[in-house]
């Protein structure tokens, strides 16, 4: 049987800016957020490019396909994709797009 999402992605997004708590009078820093989800990763074997956050065209190494419920992944987040225990892809997110059917993440 063919598995539609045979890999597992682990995304670590950096914590946000410090937030001032008016009740305690203290600044607190948001903790980094880590999410895991099933996916399918494919290498960029043809040198395709995608626009990064600055609008410059950059060549990506891998495209990760995930369910459309996976959204909010930030530019620059660290991502690792595993096939069981084997690391298949690793890098920083240079783009993320959610459409009607799925979410695509370029690393």
Verdict on whether the full-model pTM lies above 0.85: no
Let me know: does 38 contact 70? Beta carbons within 8 Å: no
Let me know: does 80 contact 107? Beta carbons within 8 Å: no
Let me know: does 12 contact 77? Beta carbons within 8 Å: yes
Mean pLDDT score, 72-89? 93
Q: Return the structure tokens found at 97.
A: 């797009």
**CATH fold label, 7-14+33-106:** Thrombin, subunit H (2.40.10)
**What is the full DSSP assignment across 33-89?**
EEEEEEEEEEE--S--EEE-TTS-EEE-SEEEEEETT---PPTT-EEEEEETTEEEE
* 17 phi/psi in degrees, rounded to 5: -65, 160
Place of tokens 């065209």: 57
pLDDT recorded at residue 16: 67
What residues have CB less than 8 Å from 78, skipping those under 6 apart?
11, 12, 91, 92, 93
Can you give the residue ranges of every domain in the chain? 7-14+33-106
Mean pLDDT score, 25-36? 82
Please give the share of the chain, as a percent, with pLDDT higher than 90. Answer: 57
pLDDT tens per residue across span 36-63: 999 999 999 999 999 888 889 999 999 9
């Amino acid at each position: 049987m063919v598995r539609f999402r045979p890999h597992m992605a682990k995304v670590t997004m950096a914590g946000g800016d410090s937030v001032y708590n008016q009740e305690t009078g203290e600044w607190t820093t948001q903790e980094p957020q880590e999410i895991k989800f099933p996916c399918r990763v494919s290498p960029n074997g043809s040198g395709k490019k995608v626009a990064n956050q600055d609008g410059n065209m950059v060549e990506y190494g891998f495209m990760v396909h995930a369910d459309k419920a996976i959204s909010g992944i930030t530019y620059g987040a660290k991502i690792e994709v595993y096939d069981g225990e084997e690391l298949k892809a690793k890098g920083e997110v240079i783009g993320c797009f959610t459409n009607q059917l799925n979410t695509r993440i370029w690393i």
